[in-house]
C-alpha cells in the first residue's frame, strides 16, 4: 500500500510490523532521568528502576542515568551514572528535587548521544529532560509514578490541584509517549485529557519473587514485629509513612481487633504523629528495613493491610503477595490491577476505601482462620510468580520505546510537511511516496 505524505494523518497510529522488526535488531543508547534517586530514596519505584537498568544492560543497551546526587553508587551494572545537585521539596523535605540543567549534565548527555530519553514524572527534573530532549531532537518518554493531584490536598492547598493538572498536561503532551504503572492510572490520565489515549501505554507490573518469598519467615523477626508476642495475630504494613497513605484508618481497624498486633515497616513524615496515635496500643514501628530484614518482615506477618487510596501501582502489595501474605487493600488506584475482580477472595481482598465495616469483614476471617490465610497466601504467591522484571523491561524496550520513536518520527514529518510542500512548489519536485 502506498500513501503520499499529504495523507500522513491516515497512517496507522502504531508502528507497522516492518518498523518493529527493524528496531528490535538494534541496540540503543538510553538516557534515564529519574527523580528522586532510585539508589537512595526508598519508594515504590526503586526496585522498578534498578531492575530496569539491570535488564537494559543485560539486553546490550548503553544506559546513562541522571538522578539526584545523594547515594549515587560508583557503579551499577555498567550504566553511566550522573548525580545532579538537589534541594528538598518544600512540602516534603525528604524528597530531593533537581532540575538537572547544569552545563556539566547537558554536555554529558549530548556526548552520550542518546537514541531516546526517558524521564520519571511528575517532578522538577522532568523539565530538564524535556529541554534536553528538544535541544538534541531525541524521542522523549515520560513514565508517570506519583499521582500528585491526589496528594496536594493533604500536603498543601487544594486550589493547587488544577494548576498541577495543567503542568502534567504540558509535560506529557510534549512527550512522545506516556507510560503508566497501572491501567487504572492510565484511565485517570485519559479522563483528564493529559495526552492522547493512544500515547498512554502500560509498564507491566513486576516483582522480585526470589527476594520476597515465604522461605524468609523467621521466628526472631516475628518476635521483633510482635514485641515478644508471636502467638498473637499480626498485621503488617510496609511502605512510606506519609499523610496521603490513609494510615489513620489502621487505627480504626485496630480499635476493633483487640487480640491483634500491628507492625509498621518504613519511615516518613507521618511517623511521629502515627506513633502518638498508636501510643499504648499493640503496635511496633521498625523504621526502614532493607535486604533480608525486609524480606523477613513481609514473610513473618499473618496478613497485609493497605488502606492507601493513591497508589499508582502498589509495589508493596505485590511484594507482600510474593511473600505469601493474604492482602486486604483499598479498592483504588493501581491496586485494582493487582487483585482484579476475578481474583477477589482467591489471591486477596479489596474493600471500599474508608469503609471500616467492609475492611473488617475481610480482615477478621483471615486473622482467625489459619487454613484460609494459607490458601490465599499460596494463591497470591503463585500469581506473583508470573511477573518478572526482565519480561516487563523487554516489553518497554521492544514495544513502548518503538512506539515512542514512531510517534516522534511522525510528529517531525508533520512539522516539516509545509516546508516540503514549499520546496516542491518552488523546484517542481514530485512528492515521494511513503511505503508502509
Omega prior to 122 cis, within 30 of 0: yes
Q: What is the mean pLDDT of residues 59-70?
A: 95
Q: Which CATH superfamily is domain 2-206+389-435 in?
A: Glycogen Phosphorylase B; (3.40.50.2000)
Cα separation, 234 vs 232, in Å, equals: 6
Confidence at 404, pLDDT banded by 50, 70, 90: very high
Confidence at 87, pLDDT banded by 50, 70, 90: confident
91 compared with 281, residue with greater pLDDT: 281
Question: Is 77 within 8 Å of 414 (Cβ atoms)?
Answer: no
Cα separation, 10 vs 427, in Å, equals: 27
Q: Which three cell numbers stand for residue 31?
A: 538516557
Least confident of 150-159, 262-271, 348-357: 150-159
Q: Is the pLDDT of residue 44 over 80?
A: no
A 10 A CB-CB count for 215 gives: 11
Confidence at 33, pLDDT banded by 50, 70, 90: very high
Question: Is 192 within 8 Å of 169 (Cβ atoms)?
Answer: yes
Question: Is 238 within 8 Å of 294 (Cβ atoms)?
Answer: yes
Would you identify the CATH topology of the domain 214-384?
Answer: Rossmann fold (3.40.50)
Length of the chain equals 436
Q: What are phi and psi of 388, to 5 degrees?
A: -120, 150
Residue 342: is it exposed, middle or buried by C-beta count within 10 angstroms (0-12/13-18/19+)?
Answer: exposed
276 compared with 13, residue with greater pLDDT: 276
Chain segment 91-117, per-residue pLDDT in tens: 666 778 899 999 999 999 999 999 999
Give me the torsion for CA of 151, 153, 155, 160, rounded to 10°.
90
Q: What is the mean pLDDT of residues 179-201?
A: 94
Cite the beta strand spans of 288-371 per DSSP E. 303-306, 327-330, 349-351
Q: What is the mean pLDDT of residues 180-207?
A: 93
Q: In the chain, which residues fall in CATH 3.40.50.2000?
A: 2-206+389-435, 214-384
Cα separation, 293 vs 325, in Å, equals: 16
Amino acid at each position: 500500500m502506498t500513501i503520499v505524505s499529504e495523507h500522513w494523518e491516515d497512517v496507522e497510529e502504531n508502528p507497522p510490523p516492518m518498523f518493529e522488526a527493524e528496531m528490535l535488531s538494534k541496540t540503543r543508547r538510553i538516557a534515564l532521568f529519574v527523580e528522586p534517586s532510585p539508589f537512595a530514596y526508598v519508594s515504590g519505584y526503586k526496585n522498578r528502576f534498578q531492575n530496569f537498568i539491570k535488564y537494559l544492560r543485560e539486553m546490550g543497551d548503553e544506559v546513562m542515568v541522571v538522578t539526584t546526587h545523594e547515594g549515587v553508587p560508583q557503579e551499577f551494572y555498567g550504566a553511566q551514572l550522573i548525580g545532579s545537585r538537589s534541594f528538598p521539596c518544600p512540602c516534603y523535605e525528604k524528597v530531593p528535587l533537581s532540575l538537572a540543567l547544569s552545563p556539566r549534565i547537558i554536555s554529558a548527555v549530548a556526548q552520550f548521544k542518546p537514541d531516546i530519553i526517558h524521564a520519571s514524572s511528575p517532578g522538577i527534573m522532568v523539565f530538564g529532560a524535556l529541554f534536553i530532549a528538544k535541544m538534541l531532537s531525541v524521542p522523549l518518554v515520560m513514565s508517570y509514578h506519583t499521582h500528585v493531584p491526589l496528594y496536594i490536598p493533604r500536603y498543601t492547598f487544594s486550589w493547587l490541584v488544577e494548576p498541577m493538572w495543567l503542568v502534567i498536561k504540558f509535560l506529557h503532551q510534549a512527550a512522545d509517549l506516556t507510560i503508566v504503572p497501572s491501567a487504572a492510572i492510565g484511565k485517570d490520565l485519559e479522563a483528564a485529557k493529559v495526552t492522547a489515549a493512544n500515547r498512554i501505554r502500560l509498564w507491566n507490573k513486576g516483582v522480585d519473587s526470589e527476594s520476597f518469598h515465604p522461605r524468609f519467615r523467621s521466628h526472631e523477626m516475628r518476635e521483633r514485629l510482635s514485641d515478644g508476642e508471636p502467638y498473637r495475630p499480626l498485621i503488617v504494613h510496609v511502605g512510606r509513612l506519609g499523610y496521603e497513605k490513609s494510615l489513620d484508618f489502621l487505627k480504626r481497624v485496630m480499635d476493633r481487633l483487640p487480640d491483634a498486633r500491628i507492625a509498621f515497616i518504613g519511615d516518613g513524615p507521618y511517623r511521629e504523629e502515627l506513633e502518638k496515635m498508636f501510643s499504648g496500643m499493640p503496635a511496633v514501628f521498625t523504621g526502614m528495613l532493607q535486604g533480608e530484614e525486609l524480606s523477613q518482615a513481609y514473610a513473618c506477618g499473618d496478613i497485609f493491610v493497605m488502606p492507601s487510596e493513591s497508589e499508582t501501582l502498589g509495589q508493596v502489595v505485590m511484594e507482600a503477595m510474593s511473600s505469601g501474605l493474604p492482602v486486604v487493600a483499598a479498592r483504588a488506584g493501581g491496586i485494582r490491577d493487582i487483585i482484579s475482580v476475578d481474583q477477589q477472595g482467591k489471591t486477596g481482598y479489596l474493600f471500599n476505601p474508608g469503609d471500616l465495616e467492609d475492611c473488617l469483614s475481610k480482615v477478621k476471617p483471615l486473622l482467625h482462620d489459619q487454613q484460609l490465610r494459607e490458601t490465599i497466601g499460596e494463591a497470591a504467591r503463585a500469581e506473583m510468580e508470573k511477573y518478572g522484571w526482565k519480561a516487563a523491561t523487554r516489553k518497554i524496550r521492544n514495544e513502548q520505546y518503538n512506539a515512542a520513536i514512531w510517534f516522534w518520527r511522525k510528529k517531525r514529518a508533520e512539522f516539516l510537511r509545509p516546508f516540503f510542500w514549499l520546496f516542491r512548489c518552488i523546484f517542481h519536485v514530485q512528492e515521494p511516496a511513503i511505503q508502509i
